[in-house]
Structure 1
Amino acid sequence: MTGIEWTEVTWNPVTGCDRISAGCDDCYALAMARRLKAMGAAKYQNDGDPRTSGPGFGVTEHPAALAIPRKWRTARLVFVNSMSDLFHAKVSEDFVRSVFEVMADTPQHTYQVLTKRPERARKLAERGLVFPPNVWLGVSVENGAVTHRIDSLLKVPAALRFLSCEPLLGPLDLDRFLFPTGCSAGCGCRRPDDGDRFECACDGECTDWSPRAALDWVIVGGESGPSPRPMHADWVRDLRDECVGAGVPFFFKQWGGRTPKAAGRLLDGQTWDQMPQGGAAWTAA
């Protein structure tokens, strides 16, 4: 089991990562890997680059861990790689495919894959990587400077797409993702009011057209640790209101503080534990 409110169990066929943006600065997994290495944990003896990673946090594939989900007798909601990023460049394409094979072969489980590298997920999908219907794909988005990750996410053929805005470090406007009005080429392609498919207003002559589907779920949380960076309440309220207006499930994980539970989880006197019931259908251009 796990203390993460929006999942049931974690599964780590890969460990280790490298910091790439402000949201990584106080990475809980990096600090945990350092402790696990000191304790002698076998999976955390490979050190990463000290400039971007640290002791016990070098990217490492664990083939033996691939068998774990096949042994679970009951259906579970599974957070994949809480201690890594499956789409890190140092994770071999063959191993990524092996992880996806396990997920496809165990449809009784639902898998939540969270990445800061959705562009690689998109490229692998173009190379034939199939996203099974029981796989949810999400991206970490800490502020408005990294919304390009959402653009990449929406080009991946995942059954359900979500955001983890934790730690939320600045204001974030999701209107253009929650209320899509056209194609990436900006030529007037629109979603019909009565359907899910996008229709090309220029008779299919777009050369850079990709559908923008509404996001299926948004998670928001503040930072925790010895020196947590503050999260403004208005940032959270804006995201909640956008999600409510779009009919998208909203999950408020925590305000953060020295410990994750230090300031509780209430937003304007209410707990927001909304979960998605299914994924929006992905349609190619």
Structure 2
Amino acid sequence: MTTTIEWTEETWNPTTGCDRISAGCDNCYAATLAKRLKGMGSAKYQTDGDPRTSGPGFGVAVHPDTLDAPLRWRQPKRIFVNSMSDLFHARVPREFVGKVFAVMAATPQHTYQVLTKRPDRMARILNDLAWRSSVYLRESTLDLRGPAREIPPWPLPNVWLGTSVEDQRAADLRIPALLDTPAAVRWLSCEPLLGPVDLGGWLPCGRCGARNPLPSAYDDDLLCGCQPPRFGSIDWVVVGGESGHRARPMHLDWARSLRDQCAGADVPFFFKQWGGRTPKANGRQLDGRTWDQYPTEVAGVAR
């Protein structure tokens, strides 16, 4: 489905529904939209969630009939996976997550942007060798009418894995799990940004660009003598304010700080919106310009 989300081109929702787990979920746009879609009779939004954490039409549901959609999109697209759900919610079966990854493996022409507030479960699943083998077995059975394909490498070069970070507490909890997950590109969605965030040692070294540990990673003669992050680092940061009639304000200095941290580490920075009751009216310029930077993939590794 085409979308107005600035940093993507298409949305794909093989699962729908979720539960609020942190402050960033308080005014969830997806929960509000799901309630509306349920009232309109949309088949995908007839499962109700717990009223304390979810709501009408926003119960977790899987939709096998939507799995093949990207196989029909021949032109390359940048696809946000699950704009209306969290693929790594505990009620999404591991087997179904494997089917989603098999489709992504079978469609290397697309770039998939996966975002979760549950990176700990994502890390456990994607580091499971048996689960990973099941992805390749499923991928080999897809689109058999097309030309023969080489077995894609792991991590999948066309899949960007991200986590939501609304404040420092969320950063401290979620980023380590994201960095413990094999990924071609790791990214953060700091939206809604509800407080200042110091990315500290999770960004590459601004002097030598070190992202991953080498055998001599802590030798005195390594590059500039830095200590790169243990598991890798963040490759892309998206920042945005909250939207809607109950939107909480985003402070200018919070957005500036993340932009400057990214600039110092040579990490692409994307400023999505200021947010507010009418987001379009507030625009998406930061200090007089738009920031629409994306990671560039080289052999499956962000540079």
TM-score (norm 2): 0.83
Give the corresponding residue for 1:250. Answer: 269
For 1:52 and 1:13, locate their aligned partners in 2 and report how far apart those are by CA, in whole Å: 21
Compute the displacement of 1:215 (Å): 1.0
* 1:101-144 deviations in Å (ceiling 9; x for gaps): 00000000010000000111110122123541110000000000
Change (3 A) 1:256 1:195: closer
1:174 partnered with 2:199 = yes
The one-letter amino acid paired with 1:257 is G
8 A Cα contact 2:123 2:177, kept in partner? yes
Compute the displacement of 1:278 (Å): 1.6
Q: Pairwise mapping of residues 29-178 of structure 1 onto structure 2 (< 5 A)? A: 29-128=30-129, 129=132, 131-147=155-171, 148-178=173-203
Aligned residues: 267
Query: Which SS does the other structure have where 1:142 is aligned?
Result: coil
8 A Cα contact 2:35 2:58, kept in partner? yes
Change (3 A) 1:149 1:196: closer
For 2:75 and 2:11, locate their aligned partners in 1 and report how far apart those are by CA, in whole Å: 15
For 1:49 and 1:109, locate their aligned partners in 2 and report how far apart those are by CA, in whole Å: 35
Structure 1 unaligned blocks of 5 or more: 182-190, 203-209
The one-letter amino acid paired with 1:157 is P
RMSD: 2.2
For 1:25 and 1:10, locate their aligned partners in 2 and report how far apart those are by CA, in whole Å: 22
Compute the displacement of 1:94 (Å): 0.4
Structure 2 unaligned blocks of 5 or more: 133-153, 220-228
TM-score (norm 1): 0.89
8 A Cα contact 1:143 1:172, kept in partner? yes
Q: Out of 272-281 and 225-234, give the one that drifted further.
A: 272-281
The one-letter amino acid paired with 1:150 is I
8 A Cα contact 1:170 1:231, kept in partner? yes
Give the corresponding residue for 2:231. Answer: 212
**Identity, % of aligned pairs?**
61
For 1:225 and 1:85, locate their aligned partners in 2 and report how far apart those are by CA, in whole Å: 21
For 1:226 and 1:193, locate their aligned partners in 2 and report how far apart those are by CA, in whole Å: 42
Change (3 A) 1:194 1:269: closer
Compute the displacement of 1:211 (Å): 2.5
Change (3 A) 1:51 1:193: closer
Give the corresponding residue for 2:224. Answer: none
Compute the displacement of 1:212 (Å): 3.2
Aligned counterpart for 2:285 among listed residues 266, 269, 274: 266
Give the corresponding residue for 2:254. Answer: 235
